[in-house]
Amino acid sequence: MFDFLFDYAVLRLIWWVLLGVLLIGFAVTDGFDMGVGALLPFVARTDVERRVAINTIGPVWEGNQVWFILGGGAIFAAWPALYALSFSGFYLAMFLVLAAMILRPVGFKYRSKRPEARWRRNWDIALFVGGAVPALIFGVAVGNTLQGVPFHFTNDLRPIYEGTLFGLLNPLALYCGLVSLAMIAMHGAAWLAFKAEGPVADRAAKFGAKLGLATAVLFALGWILVAFGLLGGYEVVGTQAVAGPSNPLLKDVVVAPQAWLANYAVHPLLIVVPLLGIAGPLLAALGFATRRDGATFVASALGVVGIVSTVGISMFPVILPSSTNPAQSLTVFDASSSESTLRIMLIATVIFLPIILAYTSWVYKVLWGRVREEDVEAPGSAAY
């Protein structure tokens, strides 16, 4: 049925939107998981308090990572050139992320296997690393993407990456890493304030108010950098065949000081998205201060949606710019899989994505309610 509904150009746009949805789903759900891990040493001072914090995410973190897997799978299947360049160019950074994330399931499963304080403290450190490091590195990756990645193609479309790990750790990328870390930690604090009881929730609210302000300020500073041309962008010039072959050599791209603002000039209503990225954290900070925990979590989630969406909207149609050969940057219209592949994947997504949303909603409904100290200390409980 999709044969006559969507042509190649529309399918590419749909998959660009779906990729954004999957990445936002990961940032919103697994984001608060990582945020709780990053805040664990600061909001929980005793073993019982740490168990309370861990048990707010223990039953759901594994399901939340489905969005991470779906996002990686979508890049692999729908945007093979993007997958090849990003996962090979950022290989060492991805290795650090995966190594840190591997610590999480082991920490959840083994932390309470033994009662010794040293044993549990070591696993608490592992959970902190598993939350903070991915949050930071994901932001660093976004920062490098905004600046452009050093790659080019040969005449037979073989990608060549010319960067190094230390090249990725440049000041602007590290700044974006701080934005990401502050955002994720804020979201984790919102979840703890909403889901936990007692001192853990109280401390999370205090940290969350500061993190909400920090996220809003850091994100707004990024817009100032773009507006004053300190963070240049990439702009497709001339006409690009939106339904043409996936060949990044068939267009021209130039570096322009304010290119990342161009889409907002053409479609002014889009400015709502970055404004949401500022307003959401500010409203969350207010919610932390007034202890409106449910509204705080919603505001924090909306802030995450606004910040992540801003990156995609600002860069469109570019998805991975090349700093060494801008004309060979990848765009939505020249880096996708074939038309038939996108169509088959869309049919599968229409069938299975609602199922994932349905069972995820059911799980959260079943696990509704706050985690208390007496819950994790109760004999025979399944607490972590």
Q: What are the tens digits of pLDDT across the range 92-130?
A: 888 889 999 999 889 988 988 888 989 999 999 999 999
Interval 120-143: pLDDT, tens? 999 999 999 999 999 999 999 999
CA-CA distance, 52 to 198, in Å (whole number)? 9
- Angstrom distances, CA of residue 124 to CA of 105, 178, 226, 367: 12, 22, 39, 23
**How confident is the model over 338-347, as a mean pLDDT?**
93
**Range of weakest confidence among 61-70, 186-195, 333-342:** 61-70
> For the chain, what percent of residues have pLDDT higher than 70?
97
Per-residue pLDDT at 3 exceeds 70:
no
pTM, two decimals, is: 0.93
> For the chain, what percent of residues have pLDDT higher than 90?
67
pLDDT value for 381: 67
**How confident is the model over 320-345, as a mean pLDDT?**
94
pLDDT value for 94: 86
Length of the chain as a residue count: 384
pLDDT value for 380: 63
Measured from the Cβ of residue 362, the count of other Cβ atoms closer than 10 Å reads 10
Per-residue pLDDT at 2 exceeds 70:
no
CA-CA distance, 188 to 29, in Å (whole number)? 10
Ordered by start, the domain boundaries in the chain are 2-377
Interval 166-175: pLDDT, tens? 778 889 999 9
pLDDT value for 377: 74
The strand pair at 151-153 and 159-161 is best described as: antiparallel
pLDDT value for 58: 86
Q: Which of 145, 201, 194, 93 is nearest to 322 (CA)?
A: 145
**Range of weakest confidence among 199-203, 268-272, 302-306, 367-371:** 367-371
Binned at pLDDT 50, 70 and 90, residue 382 comes out as low
CA-CA distance, 50 to 383, in Å (whole number)? 12
Interval 62-89: pLDDT, tens? 888 889 888 988 999 999 999 988 887 7
CA-CA distance, 336 to 330, in Å (whole number)? 9
Token pair 């991915």 is found at 134
Which amino acid, residue 154?
Answer: T
Query: HEC string of the chain?
Result: CHHHHCCHHHHHHHHHHHHHHHHHHHHHHHHHHHHHHHHHHHHCCCHHHHHHHHHHHCCCHHHHCHHHHHHHHHHHHHCHHHHHHHHHHCHHHHHHHHHHHHHHHHHHHHHHHCCCHHHHHHHHHHHHHHHHHHHHHHHHHHHHHHHCECEEECCCCCEEECCCHHHHCCHHHHHHHHHHHHHHHHHHHHHHHHHECCHHHHHHHHHHHHHHHHHHHHHHHHHHHHHCCCCCEEEEECCCCCCCCCCCCCCEEEEECCHHHHHHHHCHHHHHHHHHHHHHHHHHHHHHHHCCHHHHHHHHHHHHHHHHHHHHHHHCCEEECECCCHHHCEECCCCCCCHHHHHHHHHHHHHHHHHHHHHHHHHHHHCCCCECHHHHHCCCCCCC
Note whether 26 and 68 are within 8 A (CB).
yes
Measured from the Cβ of residue 321, the count of other Cβ atoms closer than 10 Å reads 26
Q: Per the structure block, which two tokens stand in for 361?
A: 């909603």
Interval 368-377: pLDDT, tens? 889 888 878 7
Binned at pLDDT 50, 70 and 90, residue 304 comes out as very high
Q: Name the β-bridge partners of 252.
A: 237
Token pair 């069972």 is found at 359
